[in-house]
């Protein structure tokens, strides 16, 4: 009986949850892929039953082809579904899932021709599929794709800060591990290892776990309106009713004993029992309902004790991006919501756009914008206080401004909107969605969020002041560098040129904006430490002796200490400190080699050497551009006589920039020549 019931139950559950998810939102890609995955599990489970219960070996062989039609697509569909859940469509992952589908179709072809699994085993009264000639390769394919999918879930789960996302990924990972472990053990029957029906039982467990993650934890955004409320009422009802029944039965039993021994009924005794029961029930309800809210619905009690720690944490942040990320995840975790976003102001378009978001569709994230002088943004700019969706009553909707506010809140799926102020101006908006527990926002929640918003607003003002101070200090240092370089005609403008070259190289290497800015700043400041070196040594036209060279080496350490003291980015400090290190270990001051040298320092090293070669020096004339390129290639060639001093990739990037610049100048001259000819005509 177990042999037939378990595959049927597994198949029906997989089909049911797949159809349910597909019907909720059939246009969403994750829902469609999950439906196809459930369909594959249905085919695999039910055709397994056909193989087991076949009346003859011939019938079993017919069923076995259908069996593999369902089985071969499970790894590919599972992996594809994982990618849609974690939204990690890198080039590598796209290629992997394309390879997976290709292999699935290939194995399907093998299944049709009998190479994958045409053999069967007859044990007792049942037939069992056995792996064919390339069955072991298929087993490796299945476990590889399932394992890689689970690895991606673990990797994303470790990086996730939001508790809701961690729970979603945790349940989905557990289900995936159980599913593939069950399928793998089920196939061991072909090796004579009796583990049936573990694979189908694992499918049931996987279906239940995944269903729980989808319904209870909103995996792939599936929501059931009213479900949380009904579950809570049911649990409240059971929690309150069951103790009443138990106490009532106990009271009847005690009164029966009293009558037996006392020989009569007692009205006063019955009243006393009712009063004691009422007191017990009232106390029990007060204890049970918070327990249900906290542990079954994750409705956290007021978290005032966390506000102090969060405030200290926010006060210590002087990077705007870090601050906003901390705010987003802190707000979502405090309120227990899986939908949160921060809208930032686009000054050019005078619109607010989603800068950071949790649980928001990527396409909506790109297109969702709010006008600065309309609707929600205008209200928060004027009122400068939190707005709850529940405050937008029907009576208010008679006015056009409130209709616009409601429209904006529905557009961004916001339940509560917290203004983020910077010097009394609205610089951003924190949006939080519905609570996971389904309950409304309480007064305590609003107070906590108000304090959080005020702390962040203060932090934003502090960051502005901090950046202004850094900017002033930077301008002072830049002025100092200009004065320092003006004393030597050979070094005049050197730092500015190195900054320009470093920035161009960083762009050519495809680095992000922050890294490009850091490379440019480090280029400006790279020789700041020369302020601590004697002018006689700096302007010496003959070769330096060992003592003088030892003194010159200190300029990188002096410069790094100065920049470090004004709290500029660590990347800038590293660039200044290590820009005289060389890949072969021949540099200074620490004789670093290879990848131990930070990339920004390798960029500065190339830019610095290049500028030194293309400018006149007291002891030589500037090199020609052809000689410079040859020299750079020699210094970055591992087989060259000079050794590999400079990073080959950085050198190649600089040469590419020079070639593009040369072509651009040529085109400009040609265009100017044409214009001149046209004027003459």
pLDDT (tens digit per residue) in 426-449: 888 888 888 766 677 877 788 888
| pLDDT tops 50 at residue 678 | no
Confidence of residue 8 (pLDDT cuts 50, 70, 90): confident
Given a contact cutoff of 8 angstroms between Cβ atoms, the answer to whether 342 and 437 are in contact is: no
- Looking at residue 679, its pLDDT comes to 47
138 versus 192: the higher-pLDDT residue is 138
Backbone angles phi, psi at 140, to 5 degrees: -65, -45
Least confident span in 144-148, 184-188, 497-501 = 184-188
- Looking at residue 503, its pLDDT comes to 92
- Looking at residue 263, its pLDDT comes to 57
Mean pLDDT, residues 223-249 taken together: 56
**Structure tokens, 482:** 């200009």
Write out the H or E segment, with its range, that includes residue 183.
Answer: helix 163-187
- Looking at residue 601, its pLDDT comes to 92
Would you say the C-alpha torsion 655, 657, 658, 660 has a positive or negative sign?
A: positive
127 versus 584: the higher-pLDDT residue is 584
Confidence of residue 667 (pLDDT cuts 50, 70, 90): very low
| pLDDT tops 70 at residue 159 | yes
Mean pLDDT, residues 460-485 taken together: 80
Mean pLDDT, residues 164-168 taken together: 76
Within 8 A by CB and 6+ apart from 254, the residues are 273
Cα-to-chain-centroid distance, residue 535: 52
9 versus 234: the higher-pLDDT residue is 9
If 0-12 CB within 10 Å is exposed, 13-18 middle and 19+ buried, where does residue 60 land? buried
582 versus 124: the higher-pLDDT residue is 582
391 versus 437: the higher-pLDDT residue is 391
- Looking at residue 34, its pLDDT comes to 87
Nearest to 190 by CA among 122, 253, 113, 283: 122
Backbone angles phi, psi at 337, to 5 degrees: -130, 150
Alpha-carbon torsion angle 555, 558, 560, 564, nearest 10: -170
Mean pLDDT, residues 406-435 taken together: 84
Mean pLDDT of the chain: 76
Least confident span in 66-75, 180-189, 235-244, 399-408 = 235-244
Instruction: Return the CATH number of the domain spanning residue range 304-465.
Output: 3.30.450.40
Alpha-carbon torsion angle 312, 317, 320, 323, nearest 10: -40
| HSE-CB for 570 with a 13 A CA cutoff | 2
Three-state secondary-structure class, residue 345:
strand
* Distance separating alpha carbons of residues 669 and 667, to the nearest angstrom: 5
Nearest to 374 by CA among 348, 393, 339, 400: 400
243 versus 13: the higher-pLDDT residue is 13
Mean pLDDT, residues 202-217 taken together: 76
Percent of residues, the chain, with pLDDT higher than 70? 71
The pLDDT tens digits of the residues spanning 532-548 come to 777 777 666 667 777 87
CA triple 293-295-298, angle to 5 deg: 65
Least confident span in 35-39, 125-129, 371-375 = 125-129
- Looking at residue 194, its pLDDT comes to 57
Given a contact cutoff of 8 angstroms between Cβ atoms, the answer to whether 519 and 552 are in contact is: no
Mean pLDDT, residues 179-206 taken together: 69
| pLDDT tops 50 at residue 516 | yes
- Looking at residue 599, its pLDDT comes to 92
Given a contact cutoff of 8 angstroms between Cβ atoms, the answer to whether 141 and 184 are in contact is: no
The DSSP line for 262-279 is HSS--HHHHHHHHHHHHH
Nearest to 653 by CA among 528, 471, 511: 511
- Looking at residue 681, its pLDDT comes to 44
Percent of residues, the chain, with pLDDT higher than 90? 4
Backbone angles phi, psi at 562, to 5 degrees: -65, -50
- Looking at residue 1, its pLDDT comes to 46
CATH of the structural domain 2-221, one choice from 3.30.70.1400, 3.40.190.100, 3.30.420.40, 1.20.1070.10 = 1.20.1070.10
Confidence of residue 291 (pLDDT cuts 50, 70, 90): low
Predicted TM-score of the model (pTM): 0.50
Cα-to-chain-centroid distance, residue 86: 8
| pLDDT tops 60 at residue 236 | no
| pLDDT tops 90 at residue 262 | no
Mean pLDDT, residues 4-31 taken together: 79
551 versus 502: the higher-pLDDT residue is 502
* Distance separating alpha carbons of residues 648 and 583, to the nearest angstrom: 10
CATH of the structural domain 487-668, one choice from 1.10.3210.10, 3.30.1050.10, 3.40.1190.20, 1.10.1740.10 = 1.10.3210.10
Mean pLDDT, residues 363-385 taken together: 80
| HSE-CB for 483 with a 13 A CA cutoff | 7
* Distance separating alpha carbons of residues 418 and 385, to the nearest angstrom: 7
- Looking at residue 364, its pLDDT comes to 60
- Looking at residue 607, its pLDDT comes to 92
Mean pLDDT, residues 278-304 taken together: 55
Mean pLDDT, residues 200-216 taken together: 76
């Amino acid at each position: 009986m177990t042999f037939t019931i378990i595959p049927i139950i597994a198949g029906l559950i997989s089909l049911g949850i797949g159809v349910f998810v597909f019907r909720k939102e059939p246009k969403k890609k994750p829902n469609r892929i999950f439906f196809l995955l459930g369909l594959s599990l249905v085919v695999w489970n039910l055709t397994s039953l056909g193989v087991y219960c076949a009346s003859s070996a011939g019938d079993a062989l017919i069923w076995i082809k259908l069996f593999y039609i369902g089985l071969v697509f499970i790894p590919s569909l599972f992996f594809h579904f994982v990618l849609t859940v974690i939204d990690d469509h890198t080039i590598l992952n796209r290629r992997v899932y394309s390879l997976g589908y290709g292999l699935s179709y290939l194995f399907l072809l093998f299944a049709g021709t009998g190479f994958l699994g045409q053999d069967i085993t007859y044990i007792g009264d049942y037939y069992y599929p056995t792996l064919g000639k390339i069955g072991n390769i298929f087993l490796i394919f299945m476990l590889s794709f399932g394992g890689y999918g689970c690895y991606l879930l673990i990797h994303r789960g470790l990086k996730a800060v939001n508790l809701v996302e961690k729970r979603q990924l945790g349940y989905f990972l557990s289900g995936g591990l159980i599913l593939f472990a069950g399928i793998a053990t089920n196939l061991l029957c072909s090796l004579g290892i009796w583990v049936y029906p573990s694979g189908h039982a694992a499918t049931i467990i996987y279906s239940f776990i995944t269903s729980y993650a989808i319904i209870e934890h909103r995996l792939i955004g599936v929501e059931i309106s009213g479900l949380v409320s009904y579950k809570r009422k049911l649990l409240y009802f059971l929690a309150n009713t069951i103790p009443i029944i138990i106490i009532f039965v106990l009271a009847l039993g005690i009164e029966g004993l009293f009558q037996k021994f006392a020989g009569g009924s007692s009205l006063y005794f019955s009243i006393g029992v009712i009063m004691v029961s009422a007191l017990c029930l009232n106390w029990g309800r007060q204890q049970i309902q918070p327990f249900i809210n906290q542990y079954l619905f994750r409705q956290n009690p007021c978290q005032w004790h966390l506000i102090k720690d969060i405030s200290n944490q926010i006060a210590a942040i002087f990077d705007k991006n870090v601050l906003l990320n901390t705010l987003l995840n802190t707000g979502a975790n405090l309120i227990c919501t899986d939908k949160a976003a921060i809208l930032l102001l686009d000054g050019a378009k005078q619109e607010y756009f989603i800068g950071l978001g949790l649980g928001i569709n990527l396409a909506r994230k790109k297109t969702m914008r709010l006008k600065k002088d309309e609707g929600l943004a205008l209200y928060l700019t004027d009122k400068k206080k939190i707005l709850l969706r529940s405050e937008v009553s029907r009576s208010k909707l008679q006015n056009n401004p409130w209709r616009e506010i409601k429209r904006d809140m529905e557009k961004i799926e916001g339940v509560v909107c917290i203004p983020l102020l910077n010097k009394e101006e609205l610089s951003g908006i924190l949006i939080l969605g519905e609570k996971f527990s389904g309950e409304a926002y309480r007064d305590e929640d609003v107070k906590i969020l108000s304090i959080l918003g005020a702390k962040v607003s203060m932090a934003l003002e502090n960051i502005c002041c901090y950046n202004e101070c850094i900017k002033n200090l930077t301008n002072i240092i830049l002025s100092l560098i200009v004065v320092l370089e003006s004393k030597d005609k050979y070094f005049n403008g050197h730092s500015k040129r190195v900054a320009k070259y470093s920035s161009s190289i960083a762009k050519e290497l495809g680095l992000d904006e922050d890294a490009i800015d850091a490379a440019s700043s480090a280029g400006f400041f790279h020789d700041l430490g020369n302020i601590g070196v004697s002018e006689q040594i700096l302007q010496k036209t003959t070769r330096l002796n060992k003592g003088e060279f030892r003194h010159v080496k200190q300029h990188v350490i002096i410069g790094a200490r100065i920049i470090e003291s004004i709290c500029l980015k660590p990347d800038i400090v590293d660039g200044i400190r290590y820009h005289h290190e060389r890949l072969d270990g021949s540099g200074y001051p620490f004789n670093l080699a290879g990848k131990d040298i930070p990339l920004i320092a390798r960029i500065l090293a190339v830019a610095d050497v290049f500028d030194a070669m293309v400018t006149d020096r007291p002891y030589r004339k500037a090199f020609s551009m052809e000689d410079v390129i040859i020299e750079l290639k020699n210094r970055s060639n591992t087989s060259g006589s000079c050794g590999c001093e400079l990073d080959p990739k950085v050198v190649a990037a600089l040469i590419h920039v020079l070639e593009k610049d040369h072509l651009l100048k040529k085109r400009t001259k040609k265009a100017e020549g044409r214009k001149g000819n046209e004027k003459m005509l």
